[in-house]
Structures are given as C-alpha cells and as structure tokens.
Amino acid sequence: MTTSATKEATTRYAQRFVGRAAAGHFRDAQRIVLSSLGIGTYLGQPDKKTDEAYTAAVVAAVEGGINVIDSAVNYRFQRSERSIGAALPQLAAKGFLREEIVLCTKGGYLTPDSSMPADPNEYFFREYIQHGIFTAKDLAAGSHCMTPKFLKDQLGRSLKNLGVECVDIYYLHNPETQLSEIAKPEFLERVRKAFEFLESAVGAGEIRYYGMATWNGFRQDARARDAVQLVEMAQIAQEIAGGMHHFRFVQVPFNLGMTEALTLGNQILRERRRTLVEVAGDLDITVVASASLLQGQVARNLPPLVAEAFGLKNDAERALQFARSAPGITTALVGMSRAEHVKANARLVGVASATVDEFGKLFSRGESA
C-alpha cells in the first residue's frame, strides 16, 4: 500500500481544528476530507527566493487549517512541485503526516527543468524526442501533449519532485488546448487513451484519483470549438473502468468575475441544458475552483454590494468567501507564495461559509444593480 490521503487521516486533520474551524470548513468528498480553501502554486518567478517563500507558505497553510495543495509539473518550471516537496518533511517534523494532506498536481504542458534553457528546442529533443517520449505529431499548440507515454514520464517527474509515492489527484492540464488543432473525435480518442493510462496509474498506486483542470473547456458556450462536455468525459471513464472509475475531480476557474460553472447552462445532461456544478453533482464528480481571486484582481475594489452580502474584513476575504461558499464547489484554490497571505486568508477557516440565501442575495442584487 502506498501512502496517500486517507479518510481516517484527513478526518484526524480536521479534528485538530475543532474549536478553531467553523462548521462546514472541512468537507467530505470522494472518501477524503478537504478544506474549503486550498493553496495554489502557479504564479511567481522561477527563482530560489520564490521557492523558499512557497515552501514556507505551504507549511503555514497546513498549520493553519488548509490541507489541499495544488500544483502542476510546469508551474515555475517544476520548482513549485519541488517547493512543496521541501515543505512535506518540515510538516512531518511538526507532526503533520502525508496522509492528512490532499496533494494535487497536473500534467500536459511541456516544461523545462528549473530554468528556461538557452536552446529550448535542443533541450526538448535531447530530453524527450530522442527517448521516444513524444513525437512532433503528438503535440498541440507546440506545447501540449497527453499521450500515455508522455503522461507516464510526467507523473514520474512529479512524484520525484514532490518526494512522494502517490499523488491524490492528478489532473490532465487544460486538455481543451488540444481542440485548437484536432477535431472532436480525435480529441475523444486521446482522452480515452489518457484515461486508460490514468486508471492504470491508480492500479499501480501512483495516483488516487484523476481529473481535468481546465481554463476554457467547461466555461465556454457548448458550441465553442474548445468546449468540453463533462458527461462525455465521464462516459469514457465509465467505459474503461465501469462505475468504480476514478475520474472524480474537475478544476475550473471560478471567482467573482468568472461565474460560469455555477451560472451558465453549457452542459447537456439527458437532453437538458445544465450548469457544470449540476452535472458534476449528478455524476459524483467533485468541483474545485481555481483562480479564486482572478489572479489577485478581485482582492480589492469590489462593488459595495459584496461587502453588504458577506460582511468580513476586506475584499480579498469577500472574494474567497464567494468562491468557497458557492453551492457545488468543494475547495477554492488561492495562489499564495507569501506566508502573510496564507495567514490572512486562513482567518476564513474560522468563518462559516455564506449560506445559500446570503449567496443568492448577491446574485439577485447583482442582476438588479
């Protein structure tokens, strides 16, 4: 048995915060307990200073009641995964076990190692093409690949960077990028091959669940070229592994400026237009919000009606309260390279999420404003 987040250990993690965490901060999904906020590691320079800052931020997050950590192999050229990898032993020394933490990462984008090489083409040829890991025809947009061979290589790198045996959630990173170059039937075939590999990685104990982290795919009008139907993705997983498949998470941008997952009926389920969160709920797929602060843009200068709906101390808190309280969102990811931001945002651990009524008021006020 490899070590990964477990129901028992994540429940024990939540119990550490009894009396400090508000009811509803910890949420059950897919037989693990996840915090309503997660730490993201996308933004920032690929340098030592940012590495150390992310390591300190991840330690502060887990100490502060946030047990969901999100990365991708290409974030800061693999350095974000390594910053998390450096935080895990520090956390273990403080008594926080690997099994209490929900470790998530992604594969799909080509990335160099640590810094941009002087000749990127030479690097990718030497590191990948020469070893038969991908060929030019496997690539979309010059930078995206999701063949089983490539994913196997990337997952291996992520496990090494993170210093773990198993990733809890492994996402295909922006798979809709492929649709800029290939037609839908070919895309579905590539997804099928990727899912077959991901199910085999679950069997090998290298990942616990898999999913899709998207930017446009689930937010577009259903007729857009790069729109993705969640039902079709789940159908593929079902055909490969039956009802016990492990395609159980999707990540979608969701914030005060990007509300489509909750408000746009772009998904078709049993011939009816539904929202992403509705369809995900129906299919037992957990939705994680990314870019909860719209990359910092909604951390300030929000219209007064947001403060009227949510109260709280400042706009950053209100924006996060919006993302973590939305019906159907289990965890809202916020990028935090600074421990000061972790400490500030972790104040919400002790604040109950907004009720459906409070949340709904914001929408009706917004529409009539």
**Binding stretches for ligand NAP (CB under 6 A):** 40-43, 70, 106, 173-174, 213-215, 251, 290-296, 299, 316, 333-338, 341, 344-345
Q: In angstroms, give the least distance from the CB of 37 to ligand NAP.
A: 10
CB burial of residue 1 (10 Å; 0-12, 13-18, 19+): exposed
Neighbouring-strand partners of residue 250: 212, 287
CA distances from 196 to 210, 218, 250, 280 (A): 11, 22, 17, 21
CA distances from 178 to 191, 212, 284, 297, 337 (A): 10, 13, 26, 28, 30
- Of the two residues 258 and 362, which places its CB atom closer to ligand NAP in the complex? 258
Q: In angstroms, give the least distance from the CB of 16 to ligand NAP.
A: 23
Q: In angstroms, give the least distance from the CB of 335 to ligand NAP.
A: 2
Q: In angstroms, give the least distance from the CB of 325 to ligand NAP.
A: 16
Q: In angstroms, give the least distance from the CB of 12 to ligand NAP.
A: 25
For residue 332, the SS3 value is: strand
- Of the two residues 30 and 177, which places its CB atom closer to ligand NAP in the complex? 177
Among candidate residues 5, 29, 62, the one with its CA nearest the CA of residue 336: 62
Q: In angstroms, give the least distance from the CB of 82 to ligand NAP.
A: 15
- Of the two residues 303 and 360, which places its CB atom closer to ligand NAP in the complex? 303
Q: In angstroms, give the least distance from the CB of 296 to ligand NAP.
A: 4
DSSP state of 46: S
Q: Which token pair is 222?
A: 């259903």
Q: In angstroms, give the least distance from the CB of 127 to ligand NAP.
A: 23
Cα(78)–Cα(73) distance, integer angstroms: 5
- Of the two residues 6 and 83, which places its CB atom closer to ligand NAP in the complex? 83
- Of the two residues 30 and 337, which places its CB atom closer to ligand NAP in the complex? 337
Q: Are 3 and 10 in contact (CB under 8 A)?
A: no
Sign of the Cα pseudo-torsion (301, 35, 68, 267, in order) = negative
Q: Are 247 and 237 in contact (CB under 8 A)?
A: yes
What is the identity of the amino acid at 166?
C
- Of the two residues 274 and 324, which places its CB atom closer to ligand NAP in the complex? 324
Question: Rg of the chain over CA atoms, in angstroms?
Answer: 20
Neighbouring-strand partners of residue 109: 144
Among candidate residues 65, 59, 53, 60, the one with its CA nearest the CA of residue 13: 65
∠ CA 53-55-61, rounded to 5°: 100
Q: Which token pair is 223?
A: 């007729």
Cα(346)–Cα(328) distance, integer angstroms: 21
Cα(138)–Cα(159) distance, integer angstroms: 23
Q: In angstroms, give the least distance from the CB of 211 to ligand NAP.
A: 10
Q: In angstroms, give the least distance from the CB of 277 to ligand NAP.
A: 17
- Of the two residues 142 and 185, which places its CB atom closer to ligand NAP in the complex? 142
- Of the two residues 91 and 252, which places its CB atom closer to ligand NAP in the complex? 252
- Of the two residues 27 and 241, which places its CB atom closer to ligand NAP in the complex? 27
CA contacts within 13 A on the Cβ side of 150: 26
- Of the two residues 241 and 331, which places its CB atom closer to ligand NAP in the complex? 331
